[in-house]
Structure 1
């Protein structure tokens, strides 16, 4: 019975990794669609979000079944409950990718962001993609150094996010009202994507070390 339970826990981890890989693909496509005004890529991201949602639901059902049948305790219980919380964060990361892609589709054939802010959003997009890839690696290997790397990269995203607000609120900002709204929303989506990754990294770190690192992204 214990062997079956361990197999089920391994399947939970494998499913988390699979969803994380899809999220990494999604944010890569979404940021490219956003920066390059590629409506085809944007449509792919929007359509593929249903698969992320479905896999998340299936994982949650598996975890609930394990809780009901195996009645795990101690660390095993924390693993299953954490999997439920991690899957929810991954689903939200997929949603953030979709929101970014929707902005690209809505503004096509124009680019979403005025020229002055495009380098900032390219940096934010590149960081989000890197964070997503590191997160998949973390869920695969449980290498705790990756958790710290993700937190450090998130700090860079936060700084860029604040710089966008400084720009759109500054006296030299020449954008129209729609430009201001688009830049604010897009920046928030990028920032929240990274925040959810940090939340997941903290949970993995807690399972691996027993230490909970509290911060504003909890």
Structure 2
């Protein structure tokens, strides 16, 4: 019975890892559409949500099957509940990539971003993709140390987000209110994408150890 449970949980984690990979790919493409004002790529991201929806449904079905068929005890139940929470986190990451693509589409044929903030968003996009890949690897490995390290990437994303606001608040900003609103919203989308990757790390750590990152670091 326990062998069957672990095999099914491994299958669930593989699905969650694939979802993380899809979210990262979507954000990479959305960032490309944003920086290049590429309508075709933006439309590709916007219309390409079926696979994520399919995987999300499969993951939830697998989680419910584990609950119904395996009679999980406390530690097992922790793993299943955490996995179900991860489904929500990855779904949200995919939705945030979709929001970025929609901004690129709305402003086409113009670029949504003023030239002076392109570098910030190129780096935020790179970090977002890296974090989705790290989240995928953490889900698959269940490695507590790697799960905690996701916070380091989030700190880098937060720094970029703060610096972005110094550009927006500069008295020399000459791009008007609409551009400022776009930049503010887009910065928030990338920041929240990173936050959900960190939440995945927290949930995997709880799956693996029953501890929060703070508790884990205290005894490490």
TM-score (norm 2): 0.91
- The Cα shift of 1:50 comes to 2.8
Tell me, yes or no, if structure 1 residue 190 matches structure 2 residue 190.
yes
- The Cα shift of 1:28 comes to 1.3
Structure scoring higher RCO (CA < 8 A, sep ≥ 6) equals 2
- The Cα shift of 1:211 comes to 2.2
Corresponding residue for 1:139?
139
Corresponding residue for 2:211?
211
Corresponding residue for 1:45?
45
Distance in 1 separating the partners of 2:40 and 2:142: 35
Distance in 2 separating the partners of 1:38 and 1:159: 28
Corresponding residue for 1:33?
33
Tell me, yes or no, if structure 1 residue 168 matches structure 2 residue 168.
yes
For residues 60-118 of structure 1, the C-alpha deviation after alignment (integer angstroms, 9 at most, x for no partner) is 12212221222211211111100100010000000011001111111112211111111
Distance in 1 separating the partners of 2:149 and 2:77: 27
Corresponding residue for 2:91?
91
Corresponding residue for 2:24?
24
Tell me, yes or no, if structure 1 residue 100 matches structure 2 residue 106.
no
Q: Which runs of 5+ in 2 are unaligned?
A: 215-220
Corresponding residue for 2:77?
77
Distance in 2 separating the partners of 1:153 and 1:7: 31
Corresponding residue for 1:4?
4
Q: 1:208 to 1:3 in 2, by over 3 A?
A: closer
Q: Which runs of 5+ in 1 are unaligned?
A: none
- Asked if the contact 2:135–2:150 (Cα under 8 Å) also holds between the matched residues in 1, the reply is yes
Query: What SS does structure 2 have at the residue aligned with 1:29?
Result: helix
Q: 1:208 to 1:2 in 2, by over 3 A?
A: closer
Q: 1:94 to 1:113 in 2, by over 3 A?
A: same
Corresponding residue for 1:117?
117
- Asked if the contact 2:104–2:111 (Cα under 8 Å) also holds between the matched residues in 1, the reply is yes
What value does the CA root-mean-square deviation take over the aligned residues?
A: 1.5
Q: 1:213 to 1:6 in 2, by over 3 A?
A: closer
For residues 152-185 of structure 1, the C-alpha deviation after alignment (integer angstroms, 9 at most, x for no partner) is 1111111111222232223221121110110011
- The Cα shift of 1:52 comes to 0.8
Corresponding residue for 2:202?
202
Q: 1:149 to 1:36 in 2, by over 3 A?
A: farther
Distance in 2 separating the partners of 1:108 and 1:174: 20
- Asked if the contact 2:8–2:66 (Cα under 8 Å) also holds between the matched residues in 1, the reply is yes
Structure 1 residues 185-194 or 153-162, which shifts more?
Answer: 153-162
TM-score (norm 1): 0.92
Corresponding residue for 2:65?
65
Q: Give the length in aligned residue pairs.
A: 214
Corresponding residue for 2:217?
none
Corresponding residue for 1:148?
148
